[in-house]
Structure 1
Amino acid sequence: MEAAHSRQAAPGACSAFARFTLCGGGVGIASSFAVAALASCIPWSLANAFVTAASTLLATELHARFTFGAGRHATRRQHAQSAGSAAAAYTVTCLAMLLLQQLVATPGAVLEQVVYLSASALAGVARFAVLRLVVFARNHSQATATTTAVRPVHTAPADPARLCPAA
């Protein structure tokens, strides 16, 4: 049953993106409350670092099991690559906020939220692409290789006319 479960078909791009948004958004909302609660006891930057590390681990597990259809724990390599993509996304949002502060002397809360959420959305789309195409892509190619490896080899000679049809 384990082998059949690990050969779960990968969801389509739209389905995976919806799952990514649901998992990432849920973890993000929970993280915002966790940072606020933890920041009442320790400095905000330290609370943010702890919560970011924990939420990245949790989100990577959710993405491995649910979003990208692997159906099992994320590997250490996947956690490391996911952490790298999360760090890049974090950098993008920080740079967007720094740029806003350079361009607008005293931005209002609404403008700050628009810039932050826009940068987060763009970084999220890029992160989705990295996770789907790089971090979790190998699981699906390995599962495909496993299922094709058990198929019998067809030894009949190939028909050259079928390989190179006339133009």
Structure 2
Amino acid sequence: METAQRQQQATPGAFTAFARFVLCGGGVGLASSFAVAALASWIPWALANAVITVASTLLATELHARFTFGAGGRATWRQHAQSAGSAAIAYAVTCMAMFVLQQLVAAPGAVLEQVVYLSASALTGVARFAVLRLVVFARTRSQATAHAPRPVPATVARAPRPVPAPVARATAPATPAALCPAA
């Protein structure tokens, strides 16, 4: 009972969760942007982005489960899978942004690439926050609420049922004269 209440109290509000999301997700995203740039010097950019996206999604999902959304523990495999779905969309958006940049600018510099990548990541990050809060980690909040003690409904006071009085039995007259009294 105390654990459910403690877990329910630990679940942050939307503003606090978003601030934590920006801190955790933004920190992982910023580190990821440098990791993608470094890895892209050895392998194609799209592959580098895919590798870093997988690693950073695993790390960020754990951070979000433990800290951002107050799930109180490690992320489940289901939460990792759902988070991966939103990360796949974010991956597609960042790849598309970088593809468009390559089409518009013949030889973009590292700073411009970082600006485009981080901007696309920030836009998809806001959408990911909504998905993670409303879908992926929503079950954790509803489970905490479901396990919270429910108030016992007050019973309606009812008047006791009347006990039927015993039916009086008349004794049958023994003779016909008793039925018709003499006048």
Could you state the TM-score of these two structures normalised by the residue count of structure 1?
0.75
Q: Are the equivalent residues in 1 in contact too, given 2:11–2:71 (CA < 8 A)? A: yes
- Aligned residue for 1:152? 152
* Paired positions, count: 154
Q: Are the equivalent residues in 1 in contact too, given 2:25–2:60 (CA < 8 A)? A: yes
Percent of aligned pairs sharing the same letter: 71
Question: What is the CA deviation profile of residues 110-154 of structure 1, one whole-angstrom value per residue up to 9, with x for unaligned ones?
Answer: 544443322211101000110011000111011111114x42124
Is residue 77 of structure 1 aligned with residue 107 of structure 2? no
- 1:1-167 equivalences under 5 Å are 2-35=3-36, 43=43, 47-102=48-103, 104-106=104-106, 108-109=108-109, 110-148=111-149, 150-156=150-156
* Structure showing greater Rg: 2
> 1:48: Cα distance to partner?
4.3
Q: Are the equivalent residues in 2 in contact too, given 1:6–1:70 (CA < 8 A)? A: yes
> 1:29: Cα distance to partner?
3.3
- Aligned residue for 1:162? none
Question: What is the CA deviation profile of residues 20-76 of structure 1, one whole-angstrom value per residue up to 9, with x for unaligned ones?
Answer: 111112222333455566667x63555544432222111101100100011111111
SS at match of 1:98: helix
**Higher percent of residues as helix:** 1
> 1:105: Cα distance to partner?
4.5
Could you state the TM-score of these two structures normalised by the residue count of structure 2?
0.69
Distance, in Å, in 1 between the alignment partners of 2:29 and 2:118 is 12
Distance, in Å, in 2 between the alignment partners of 1:92 and 1:33 is 18
Gap regions ≥5 residues in structure 1: 158-167
Gap regions ≥5 residues in structure 2: 158-183
Instruction: Compute the RMSD of aligned alpha carbons.
Output: 2.8
